[in-house]
Structure 1
């Protein structure tokens, strides 16, 4: 087990409230991506072993196992995260380990998985980490296995006429650049997959506007982002003097957000998904 200082890796807490937020977020993201937990380009009959990196509560793996177990009850599932705090107390047929995606995986996981799933690491990874992350993913994929990486990144915020979205984009861009992180995360994942020699790499966009039933949930999610990440970035990047000022700025922006929503100006959420396949002859990374 690799010991990791998670303070700079995770922008939220690790308590029960955060676990509930993660599970609710998963349900929304599943709806936005048309309930395609596994991308349609990945043949489910070939997926007998699945790894989930940044697994949190393991909710994605739990739902995937319910789908795959309908045709094959011998599938193997393993969740990895930088902290065990949110792992379920009753994991069932899923195994969990503490692991940082930027560090080598133990050898028992090498060439083990038909599919590796990653989601929402844009705030956690520095731009220089992505090449290493793709290399580590390749090490645990079987030849011919698939990576599926999903992000809510600058694509959600860029070129939006919504003034709240524009302010979030401004704040995040300044802060993430100052911290050496990559706001264009999905484009970076795609770029590194291509550079590493993965095959059939694609970047797909899903938009919450495609289903009006998601409107209220996306409104609530944006308010949560403002309350947590926006306030945190304001403080960390020195755009405000203290936590009280950050909280005040965030509160004002949330009020503005809800006024716009009441006027029918609900912002969309875009989920960017990158899918790529490891060559049958492996990769030299």
Structure 2
């Protein structure tokens, strides 16, 4: 695989500024997104290994919320009969492909800045389209009955969220619903050194890009400030990583794969630079997750367009 440049910088915990493209190219053969637009700040890989992680992560989130749709939305829209759905920031299309299994009569649009969908799986209900959420996406006003947004916190700067939401609501029909889920990246691990170092690294990397690691706590406010919706459901959940449940096992796998995806970027900033050190650090994190008091947190909000 070739190595794309990450055109941004990070402030390390001690205040040192390093260029991530230089730090990353030396340490990893993973393929990353190449962005020439400073407003596009996504910083995880785009290779097959990362796409598999995103697919697995989908089912962990589905387990956490006991389904793909919040109850208030499910009761309000006729998914069985068929509605028009947009997945904004669809990634490889994991959520859409799963939804098609449950609701084959709906039509699905997936919109993202990178086409990473599986070309071997092309259901007739699914159409993918390129779109930068900070610009006008290629859909007419009032097109969709339901818009799904999830895990955009590593893609959108804090100051840009109002732009993203305004554009999403532009293409949502009056009376339609938007569902937004984000991880709340608050500290966890009960003081475990490896987990704390990893989480601090994520926070510094995100802040350096103008991203908010706890944007999940702002989703209701940001939606309300559009003056275009009413909140119909809020659902903040957490999962105990030591609980040994099926959902916890899935999230443990996701933690491991996420660490592997992030370490090429975070490693140099937190002093974990060579492969041997990164492997040992990853083991320390995984050991800590199952022995310390550690949680994964997520917030979901559903709103209806007025």
TM range, smaller chain: 0.7 to 0.9
Change in CA separation of 1:17 and 1:39 when aligned onto 2, cut-off 3 Å: same
Aligned pairs (5 A) from 1:65-214: 65-69=100-104, 73=105, 75-92=106-123, 93-106=125-138, 108-155=139-186, 157=187, 160-197=190-227, 198-200=229-231, 202-209=233-240, 212-214=245-247
Provide Cα deviations, 1:86-122, integer angstroms capped at 9, x if missing partner: 343442121110112221122x432111111111111
CA distance in 2, matches of 1:86, 1:18: 12
How far 1:247 moved relative to its partner? 4.9
* 8 Å contact kept, 2:189–2:289: no
Change (3 A) 1:228 1:16: closer
**Counterpart selection for 2:250 from 203, 217, 226:** 217
Identify the residue that residue 60 of structure 1 maps to in structure 2.
95
Aligned counterparts of 2:128 and 2:91: Cα–Cα separation in 1: 10
Tell me, in whole angstroms, the C-alpha distance in 1 between the residues paired with 2:274 and 2:152. 23
When the two chains are superposed, the root-mean-square deviation of aligned CA atoms in Å is 2.6
**C-alpha distance in structure 2 between counterparts of 1:6 and 1:148, whole Å:** 27
Partner of 1:269 in structure 2?
296
Which residue is 1:49 aligned to?
A: 84
Equivalents in 1 of 2:266, 2:303: separation in Å?
A: 32
Shift of 1:205: 1.6
Which of residues 30, 36, 39 is equivalent to 2:62? 30
Deviations 1:128-180 (A, max 9, x none): 1100011011011000111111112324x358444433223322222222221
* SS at structure 2 position matched to 1:273: strand
Q: How does 1:8-19 map to 2 (within 5 A)?
A: 9-19=41-51
Q: 1:228 aligns with which of 261, 277, 282?
A: 261
Q: Distance in 2 between matches of 1:95 and 1:205?
A: 31
* CA distance, structure 1, for counterparts of residue 195 and residue 270 of structure 2: 17
Mark the runs of 5 or more structure 2 residues left unpaired by the alignment.
1-32
**Contact 1:141–1:278 (8 Å) recurs in 2:** yes
The secondary structure found in structure 1 opposite 2:114 is: coil
For residues 160 and 50 of structure 1, do their structure 2 counterparts lie closer, same or farther at Cα, with a shift above 3 Å needed?
farther
**What is the TM-score with the length of structure 1 in the denominator?**
0.81
Runs of 4 or more, structure 1, over 6 Å off, are none
- Alpha-carbon contact 2:110-2:129 (below 8 Å) kept: yes
Mapped to 1, the partners of 2:196 and 2:166 lie a distance apart of 34
Contact 1:33 1:271 in 2 (8 A): no
